[in-house]
Chain A
Amino acid sequence: MSNGIDDSNLAMILEFVSESFESLDTSEPLIDTLKTEDFKDNVNTIFRTFHTIKGLAGFFEMVYLNKVTHEAETLLDYIRKNDKSLDESTIDIIYKSFDFIRYILQVISVDYIDTAIAEEIPEIIQIIQIHTDHLKNNTVLASNLNKEEISLDDNSFDFNSLVNDEMREQFLVSSFDLIEVGANNLILLEKDNTNENLIAETFGLIHSLKGNSGFMGYSEIEEIAMDTETILDSLRQKELDVDSNIISILLSNFEAIKNRLEIIIKGNADKDLIPLINLDIVEKVIKKEIELPKNEIILDKKNTPIQNKKYSNENEIEKSKQGVKLKNDIRVETNKIDKLFDLVGELITIESMLTNSSDLKNLELPIFWKSANMLNKITRELQDISMSIRMMPIEGLFNKMKRLVRDVSIKMNKKVELVIVGSETEMDKNVIDEIADPLVHILRNAMDHGIELPEVRLNKGKLAEGVIKLEAKYEGNEILIVISDNGAGINRERVLEKAFESGLITNPLEKLTDKEVYMFIFEAGFSTAKEVTDISGRGVGMDVVKKNIEKLHGTIDLDSEFGKGSTFTLRIPLTLAIMEAMLIRVGKSTYALPILALRESFKCNINNVTITMDGLEMVRIRNEVLPIIRLHELFNIMPTANDLKDGILMVVETRNKRVCLFVDEILGQQQAVVKAISDYVGKINGITGCMILGDGNIGLIIDIEGLFRMSESNFVLNLN
């Protein structure tokens, strides 16, 4: 059978798999909300996910996937028809179905067919069936409830299958445009109230919206649009005069339509945002309004709800715009984007090679420079855009963490609430992929060692439910991801004890700052857990966190208060690919320092330099004394400046540590497209990568952290 599949079919199957993964990812966070009362919309979304996958699985003749999704769909169908909130076990079953479907998809992505899992199928199907039957028996009585509502929902499903996704998307996008233009017209009309063109145009807009929504089967929007159309028609026929009240009503109708559109997009919008009753009032008012155009009492009454609505709607409008943006996308393979990005990198390099070319020296070329400046501007813009293509909101990753927290908390009998802030923060897709693992480790750790058991918490006078906060935000050129918990915090003494036991420190009474002590946690094999659980405690994990973050050129900070909780702060550069660099020269080699780490640079005054007994050179800057690292010594190069007074000192800082680098000369600032040095070479201490310089030669990019480590071990060597 698999032999009969041709290439185009393979591509379709792969697309099906990736789309299914995506829709599972979007609906998974909704599962948890099913516990609450108002879950109807979410059940529908999950139902639809199963339904779509089932349909496509049938199309591709994936028998087993089809079977499993069918069972899951049946279960969801019961849930949505019997308006009843769910217990833990049902939710578990839904999660299990998600997991199993993902597993099948994984198999399909390799084999292009799902026959490999034939043996595992009966078990999961049985689990789901038993549960469905179980629910059925308990809810026979409830099935007679509210027939009207059920049939309404069924209606919307018919439309879902008649109208394909692409049509719906187009409808949504164009409707939002219509609404936006229409609302704009209305605002203009308020000032220019005799402009017949504006009225006519708006009438036309709402008329097409009415037609579209009727065709798509969104009867509610159609109705609102019709009412709006009637008012606009009266205005057009001059039966009504334009005044601010009418404009308000029209605007509120537009907003109501927008709100309904948004509900369609999200599939799970909170209906409270624009209550239906409000709409009814407005509709009634409109009808009266047409008969009695200037009734002040009614105007007062209706002004209040409208204004309230407007107020609550401001966020909504923003959201709905985003919603449309998300929908209006095309799928592109990541390797194409990577290629584009590489080419833009090349372009930037070539551009600077061209404009810095030595051939141009001492030439008067005004026209050339005009074009060169344009070229520069365009390349920068191109760079910005190609970079933004790779940016994705971190939401997907954070949503996965919800699931993790839920599973782990059940496993450990702990009560944990996960608070997520800033999930709209955008990051380079590669970076998001890289921080997934560290985040899992930190969260597991927080739940295992941080958050205490409910009874312990109550004894300590805390709420039984612990809180873990996951926050993402921008700070300068970096993204901060903060994971904080209100659990037990870190026991400094225990960490020190362990550090001594495992030989990380030689003297248990050594004076260390809290931060230095906490950093031991990131050492490989370090764990203060008394016993190893299947969640954490083996001491692998936190060192992986540190390594992964360092791979991204990021840093990790840990703050903790014993008994009150801990906070991990990850700082990650916005992008790995491009950075502002200060070029310096040591001997014949050019090096690049990340501008972000650079604090200041100065010619050294020899009077401010002291040499310690260990032979360490220190320089005093204002109130601070900093050690001097001679770059040429660390890198074994012959410098042109051997004397401190001949070269330049540069203060660099990372993780609150500062040192002075001694270099021969500063060459200038340049934007660097960071390139890896080659897997063949492996890791070079003190170097993170390289860049191509204006003359086509290569500059090595200095890894400040690595430099610190090197100078520390060098120093220890010297002492010995």
Chain B
Amino acid sequence: MKTNNKVKFEEYEDENLIDFRYMGFSQDSEDYLIDIKYVTEIIGIQNITPLPNSKSFLKGIINLRGIIIPIISTRLRFGKDEIDFNARTCIIVLNFEENNIGLIVDNVTEVYHILPENISLPPDTNKGTNSNFIKGIGQIENKVCMILDIEKLLIDKENMSLN
């Protein structure tokens, strides 16, 4: 409880303070975190225009107030099957290296405040390609969340470049 109070206090002190804050979303039973410095906004699911002959996880593009934003499905990116969009499905719009990119996620949870001492390196078990996307493990009370490495998530090292 004490840590929670501390977060509130800091929030009061400086609304622009984004250090150590993470946007959380859940998929199946797993919780993921994105460094909030990348997040520009969260929008509901929109009509996505598919792009022909493009990467499988690239769902297409959307028009957000006149700006064209490419959309990535996190499920496809993690090599999972897609599920039907529902009322909880949303798009997290990220700004990465001057590009706006949207991530489709199943369910946005909340913004967490995690101090560096509560983050540990990911276990070195090379059990799947997905663990490449994990930058660290964050401890929130008794929950364990995976902090995503946005750069690795967005850039497909093997067969796609940010050109």
Task: Give me the interface of A with B, judged by CB distance under 8 Å.
Answer: 345-346, 349, 589, 634-637, 675-687, 690, 692, 696-700
Contacts and interface: CB of A to CB of B under 8 A. Distances in A.
Contacts of B108: none
A351 B61 CA distance: 22
A675 B52 contact: no
B39 interface: no
A690 B61 contact: yes
A682 B51 contact: no
B69 interface: yes
Contact of A680 (B63, B66, B99): B99
A302 B51 CA distance: 76
Contacts of A700: 49, 51-52
Contacts of B50: 589, 637
B69 A687 contact: no
A684 B51 contact: yes
Contacts, number: 72
A115 B66 CA distance: 46
Contact of B68 (A634, A678, A696): A678
A677 B162 CA distance: 13
Nearest to B155: A680
B58 interface: yes
5 contacts: A589-B49, A637-B50, A677-B61, A679-B163, A684-B53
B62 interface: yes
Task: Name the residue among A675, A678, A687, A692 with the largest chain B CB count within 10 angstroms.
Answer: A678
Interface in B54-85: 54, 58, 61-63, 66, 68-70
A675 B54 CA distance: 18
Interface string B24-67: 00000000000000000000000101111110001001110010
A678 B53 contact: no
A57 to B, nearest CB: 36
Given A678-B100, A690-B68, 15 more contacts: A637-B50, A637-B52, A675-B68, A676-B68, A677-B51, A679-B99, A679-B162, A680-B154, A680-B162, A690-B49, A692-B63, A697-B49, A698-B49, A698-B61, A698-B62
B103 interface: no
Nearest to A680: B99
A464 to B, nearest CB: 48
Nearest to A695: B47
Task: Name the residue among A346, A636, A697 with the largest chain B CB count within 10 angstroms.
Answer: A697
Given A690-B61, A698-B61, A681 B51 contact: yes
B77 to A, nearest CB: 14
Interface of B: 47, 49-54, 58, 61-63, 66, 68-70, 98-101, 154, 160-163
A678 B163 contact: no
B66 A692 contact: yes
Nearest to A586: B52
Contact of A696 (B63, B101, B162, B163): B63
B51 A346 contact: no
A687 B51 contact: yes
Contact of B47 (A635, A637, A697): A697
Task: Name the residue among A346, A349, A683, A690 with the largest chain B CB count within 10 angstroms.
Answer: A690
B53 A681 contact: no
B109 to A, nearest CB: 26
A636 B52 contact: yes
A551 to B, nearest CB: 14
A268 B74 CA distance: 66
A346 B66 contact: yes
B49 A681 contact: no
A614 to B, nearest CB: 22
A30 B160 CA distance: 51
A158 to B, nearest CB: 53
B79 to A, nearest CB: 20
Given A678-B69, A680-B101, A682-B163, A697 B52 contact: no
B70 A680 contact: yes
A310 to B, nearest CB: 54
A681 B70 contact: yes
Contacts of A679: 98-99, 162-163
Contacts of B69: 678
Nearest to B69: A678
Contacts of A687: 51-52
A684 B163 contact: no
A681 B58 contact: yes
Contacts of B163: 679, 682-683
Contacts of A692: 63, 66
Contacts of A697: 47, 49, 63
Given A349-B66, A697-B47, A681 B54 contact: yes
A346 B101 CA distance: 21
A106 B121 CA distance: 47
B47 A678 contact: no
A636 B49 contact: no
B14 to A, nearest CB: 27
A698 B50 CA distance: 10
Given A690-B61, A697-B63, A698-B68, A678 B99 contact: yes
